[in-house]
């Protein structure tokens, strides 16, 4: 289930390719089909194809998850895009229908350009923004299908295609809001490439590292516990043992809730799926707006492999790259227990000042190992 | 083709509205299944692929149609299987 986003990316790429193939086939069999629509379908389809596979490679770790950027990258992409647009439009203006070979050449060049552009647009986007990219590509494959529908005058394709296109755009929009960034910023911003460094970089942080035994004792004294799962939990496949810990805490009469940030995981709603897989009842899964007031009277916030989504710098530090992003206000709770593998910054590349707060304690280790230990300790209480 | 284009555009725009209405009502919990489901739907190009193969045309376009059919089928079958697996986990116990 952790690999779900990769699967979706692959299927999506094939969907885009299928639309492009259908349009090509139609163009080759009836040269009189409207060139602009053929190209639109082929262009978007091919772009979706390579873009999705780059996204897959990044999520799977074949390609560096970091943003890959080089000088003049934007310019190259812009040139390719402009070239493609002019190639799509120009033949209609300068060729007449007798010049089929001219059309055909333009057609092949457009395919190549789209394939390159798909890579060029996806490669500079960092791993944290992959959910947005995948849902955007999903929307593209829908648009490609709709364009194909226009080409072959098929209502089924138009309707399904535009439905998918609309749904992809809406999800993309929801996620962009979750990160307080515009779509343009996600696509061209390349966060994570260079560390702009928030103000917390310079400050020495007073990190308190605790053992799981001590963490278990703190949990024992708590009444209300909110678990904040992040991608670290998903990577460690720790959702099942997290549920067991929560259940044994509940058996001791404590309240346990889960706080799900809109961009937790690698896909919209990804964390919900993982927790549902672990049989966590979905009425204890709370979204951002529901859970934030709850932190005020919460005894322990248990953060499992989440980082940027709980960084208080997003609220006050204007120099931070994540400033303005809606976050979970875990720092409002009495104690914050943070489980992380190391002090490495999250995907946004910023150090989290939360770790140095007076009410924060760190428990280092793999989420699954740590939770297994914690489960033993809690059961012995 | 010429007479059709207006009604095709009308259908397109209406479908966008319907899509908008439907998706806005899906709770965030189900966004992942929604995405993989709609992804599977984009494999609707399978219809186009079948039409392309059946069309009375040259070999080249038939083979390309076959490639389209393969891609679209993987997209549809894989997409729906993944969605189904996810939705099963959301069933009330």
Q: Nearest to residue A183, comparing CAs of A125, A266, A119, A230?
A: A125
CB A119 within 8 A of CB A108: no
Active site includes A289? no
Give the model's pLDDT for residue A217. 86
Please state, in angstroms and rounded to a whole number, the distance separating the CA atoms of residues A3 and A98: 50
Question: Total domain count for chain B?
Answer: 1
Query: Across the interface, do B30 and A269 touch by the CB < 8 Å criterion?
Result: yes
Where residue A229 sits, what CATH number does that domain have?
3.40.50.1220
Give the model's pLDDT for residue A92. 65
Give the model's pLDDT for residue A13. 92
- Same domain? For A143 and A184 the reply is yes
B6-60: pLDDT as tens digits: 888 888 888 888 888 888 888 777 888 888 888 888 888 888 898 888 887 778 8
The reply to whether A15 touches chain B by the CB within 8 Å rule is: yes
- How is chain A split among helix, strand and coil, in percent rounded to 5? 60, 10, 30
- Same domain? For A78 and A130 the reply is yes
Domain membership of residue A277 as a residue range: 203-380
Give the model's pLDDT for residue A197. 40
Q: Which of A201, A289, A299, A308 is catalytic?
A: A308
Please state, in angstroms and rounded to a whole number, the distance separating the CA atoms of residues A246 and A273: 17
A195 in any annotated domain: no
Give the model's pLDDT for residue A73. 74
- Same domain? For A64 and A210 the reply is no
Backbone angles phi and psi of B56, in degrees to 5: -80, 85
Residues in A touching B1 (Cβ below 8 Å): 34, 153
B69-91: pLDDT as tens digits: 999 999 999 999 988 888 887 76
A260 in any annotated domain: yes
A303 in any annotated domain: yes
Question: Total domain count for chain A?
Answer: 2
Among B8, B44, B69, pick the best mutation site for testing chain A contact (most A Cβ within 10 A): B44
A325 in any annotated domain: yes
- Same domain? For A181 and A72 the reply is yes
- Same domain? For A71 and A179 the reply is yes
Please state, in angstroms and rounded to a whole number, the distance separating the CA atoms of residues A299 and A335: 6
Give the model's pLDDT for residue A200. 43
Residues in A touching B30 (Cβ below 8 Å): 269, 272
A289 in any annotated domain: yes
- Same domain? For A140 and A284 the reply is no
**How many Cα neighbours within 13 Å face the side chain of A180?**
13
Give the model's pLDDT for residue A199. 41
Give the model's pLDDT for residue A196. 40
Per-10-residue mean pLDDT for chain A, 381 residues long?
Answer: 79 92 87 82 93 87 70 78 81 64 82 89 76 86 91 87 88 80 70 42 68 86 89 82 89 89 75 84 83 88 85 81 82 88 68 83 86 86 73
- Same domain? For A113 and A171 the reply is yes
Give the model's pLDDT for residue B69. 92
Quote ipTM for the complex. 0.87
CB A226 within 8 A of CB A291: yes
Give the model's pLDDT for residue A201. 46
Please state, in angstroms and rounded to a whole number, the distance separating the CA atoms of residues B23 and B7: 24
CB B43 within 8 A of CB B80: no
Give the model's pLDDT for residue A260. 87
- Same domain? For A211 and A160 the reply is no
Give the model's pLDDT for residue A45. 93
CB neighbourhood size of A196 (10 A)? 13
A197 in any annotated domain: no
Domain membership of residue B50 as a residue range: 4-90
Residues in A touching B18 (Cβ below 8 Å): 163
């Amino acid at each position: 289930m952790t690999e779900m986003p990769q699967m979706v990316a692959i299927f999506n790429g094939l969907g885009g390719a299928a639309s492009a193939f259908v349009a090509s086939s139609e163009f080759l069999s009836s040269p009189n089909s409207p060139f602009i629509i053929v190209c639109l379908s082929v262009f978007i389809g091919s772009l979706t194809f390579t873009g999705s596979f780059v996204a897959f490679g990044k999520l799977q770790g074949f390609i560096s998850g970091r943003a890959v950027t080089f000088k003049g990258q934007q310019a190259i992409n812009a040139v390719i895009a402009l070239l493609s647009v002019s190639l799509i439009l120009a033949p209609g203006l300068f060729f007449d229908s007798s010049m089929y070979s001219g059309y055909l050449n333009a057609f092949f060049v457009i395919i190549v350009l789209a394939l390159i552009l798909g890579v060029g647009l996806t490669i500079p986007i960092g791993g944290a923004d992959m959910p947005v990219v995948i849902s955007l590509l999903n929307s593209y494959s829908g648009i490609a299908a709709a364009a194909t529908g226009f080409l072959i005058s098929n209502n089924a394709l138009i309707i399904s295609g535009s439905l998918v296109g609309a749904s992809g755009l809406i999800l993309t929009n929801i996620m962009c809001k979750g990160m307080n960034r515009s779509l343009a910023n996600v696509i061209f911003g390349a966060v994570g490439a260079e560390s702009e460094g928030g103000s917390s970089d310079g400050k020495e942080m007073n990190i308190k590292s605790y053992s799981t035994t001590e963490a278990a004792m703190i949990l024992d004294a708590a009444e209300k516990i909110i678990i904040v799962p992040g991608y670290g939990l998903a990577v460690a496949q720790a959702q099942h043992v997290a549920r067991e810990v929560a259940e044994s805490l509940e058996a001791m009469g404590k309240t346990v809730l889960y706080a799900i940030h809109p961009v937790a995981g690698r896909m919209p709603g990804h964390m919900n799926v993982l927790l549902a897989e672990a049989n966590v009842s979905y009425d204890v899964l709370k979204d951002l707006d529901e859970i934030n007031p709850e932190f005020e009277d919460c005894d322990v916030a248990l953060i499992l492999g989440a980082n940027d989504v709980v960084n208080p710098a997003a609220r006050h530090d204007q120099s931070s790259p994540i400033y303005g992003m809606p976050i979970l206000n875990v720092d409002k709770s009495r104690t914050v227990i943070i489980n992380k593998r190391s002090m490495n910054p999250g995907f946004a590349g910023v150090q989290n000042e939360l770790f140095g707060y007076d009410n924060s304690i760190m428990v280092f280790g793999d989420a699954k190992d740590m939770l297994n230990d914690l489960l033993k300790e809690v059961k012995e209480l | 083709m010429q007479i059709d284009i207006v009604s095709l555009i009308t259908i397109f725009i209406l479908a966008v509205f319907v899509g908008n209405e439907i998706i806005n009502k899906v709770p965030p919990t189900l966004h992942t299944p929604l995405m993989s489901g709609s992804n599977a739907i984009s494999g609707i190009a399978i219809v186009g692929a079948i039409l392309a193969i059946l069309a009375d045309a040259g070999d080249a376009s038939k083979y390309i149609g076959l490639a389209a059919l393969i891609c679209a089928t993987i997209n549809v079958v894989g997409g729906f299987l993944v969605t189904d697996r996810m939705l099963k986990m959301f069933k009330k116990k």
